[in-house]
Amino acid sequence: MKILLSGGGTGGHVYPALALMRRIQEVDPTAEFLYVGTEKGLESKIVKDYNIPFASVEIKGFKRSLSLDTFKTIRMFISSIKQAKKIVKKYQPDIVIGTGGYVCAPVVYAASKLGIPSIIHEQNSVAGITNKFLSRYVTKIAICFEEVKKDFAKYPAKICFTGNPRAQEVSNVQKKAALEEYNLDSKKPTVVIFGGSRGAKKINEAFIEALPMLATKNYQVLMATGDVHYEAIQNQLIKIKNDKFNVSVVSYIPNMPEVFSTASLVVSRSGATTLAELTALGLPSILIPSPYVTNDHQTKNAESLVNKHAAMLLKESELTGEKLVETLDELMLDPNKRQEMAENAKKIGMPDASDRLIEVINEIMKK
């Protein structure tokens, strides 16, 4: 079977496609893959480590307000459909799977116009613009939250509840000492802090403010700042650093499933793929939704855990260094509370999400 995958912009759209690919490779080693993304998105970096061919189309997202740029973007979108059609015709996939981000729009649309079956995977509790646009053209719509059904209300027969493939991937990872490569001790209670796949300025600022307080704790911290913020953070660290710090700061954590397997608590944005990982593993978390996303969907994502006592919510508007440490202490000094949260998180996890999605693919292929 030849499968064309497309998803991009941020890690939350890329990792689900790659997790699904890895599971398909396990059950069908003869399956072939092509990944289509953009050169500028995070996918061009991430996919390199997965040993599959990568093709790119040139496209950018639409800005909300109308300007001269809008016309350029429309021209680029039309040209990206032509590029995508060329790629699809050449590769001749049996099925095309889009996991969100604007790059999917021309790719999945082109596939549908060429009569190739397709699936979109919506990770969030509120559908993205690209997936809403594509819902009309695709064969199936795979979802992870019941709440998102209303966004695809015109096509109820296409909807299938699968969960996020990344959930299955992380839950199958062998627990191992992954923290030594970050100069930390895998036996010590550890908090992992990151602001989604690209980092979050406000979380980084609170972390810097919290740093002198964190240095005195009996738990350790692994912090990922995001590539674009790393240099600025490094400069700040140099100013305040002393040798006693049990804190490690990196720009990105490439082996997150392994790191999660030894973490005691996670502090992060509430991107849907991260939440799928936390619930599959049963990891307690403090969620700081990004207020800068469409329809405030990260708050809705976070609430789906918080309402079930599976996570704590901390609003970005209330985030300071002191508040961060106070909230961390509340959980890190109370293992019972963490345990309760972990159990509640695990109850909502979907550790068979890839298998469910593979079943949908097989059903389509049979027809």
Ligand X SMILES: CC(=O)N[C@H]1[C@@H](OP(=O)(O)OP(=O)(O)OC[C@H]2O[C@@H](n3ccc(=O)[nH]c3=O)[C@H](O)[C@@H]2O)O[C@H](CO)[C@@H](O)[C@@H]1O
Residue span binding ligand X (CB under 6 A) among the ranges 191-199, 238-246, 305-313, 350-358:
191-199
Nearer to ligand X, 110 or 263 (CB): 263
Q: What track of x and - describes contact with ligand X for positions 140 through 169 (by CB under 6 A)?
A: --------------------------x---
Which pair of structure tokens corresponds to residue 312?
Answer: 């704590």
Instruction: Identify the residue whose tokens are 């855990």.
Output: 305
Q: Kindly state whether residue 13 participates in binding ligand X, applying the rule CB under 6 A.
A: yes
Q: Kindly state whether residue 139 participates in binding ligand X, applying the rule CB under 6 A.
A: no
Q: Kindly state whether residue 197 participates in binding ligand X, applying the rule CB under 6 A.
A: yes
Nearer to ligand X, 93 or 98 (CB): 98
The distance of closest approach from Cβ of residue 195 to ligand X in the complex, given in angstroms and rounded to an integer, is 8
- 110-149 burial, b for 16+ CB within 10 Å, e for fewer? bbbeeebbbbbbbbbbbbbebbebbbeebbbbbbbbebbb
Give the up-direction half-sphere exposure of residue 6: CA atoms within 13 A in the CB hemisphere: 33
The distance of closest approach from Cβ of residue 98 to ligand X in the complex, given in angstroms and rounded to an integer, is 12
The gap from C-alpha 274 to its chain's centroid, in whole angstroms, comes to 5
Q: Kindly state whether residue 12 participates in binding ligand X, applying the rule CB under 6 A.
A: yes
First vs last C-alpha separation in the chain: 14
Number of residues located near ligand X, criterion CB under 6 A: 27
Using CA atoms, how far residue 160 sits from 6, 149, 155, 219, 260, in Å, is 19, 10, 11, 42, 28
Which pair of structure tokens corresponds to residue 359?
Answer: 């079943």
Q: Kindly state whether residue 123 participates in binding ligand X, applying the rule CB under 6 A.
A: yes
Q: Kindly state whether residue 194 participates in binding ligand X, applying the rule CB under 6 A.
A: yes
Q: Which of residues 233-292 bind ligand X (CB under 6 A)?
A: 252-253, 256, 269, 271-274, 277, 290
Which pair of structure tokens corresponds to residue 121?
Answer: 């995977």
Q: Kindly state whether residue 354 participates in binding ligand X, applying the rule CB under 6 A.
A: no
Q: At what angle do helices 335-348 and 272-281 cross, to 10 degrees?
A: 110
Residues at the binding site for UDP-N-acetyl-alpha-D-glucosamine are 10-12, 124, 197, 253, 298
Judged by the rule CB under 6 A, the positions of this chain that interact with ligand X are 10-13, 15, 100, 123-124, 166, 194, 196-197, 224, 252-253, 256, 269, 271-274, 277, 290, 293, 297-298, 301
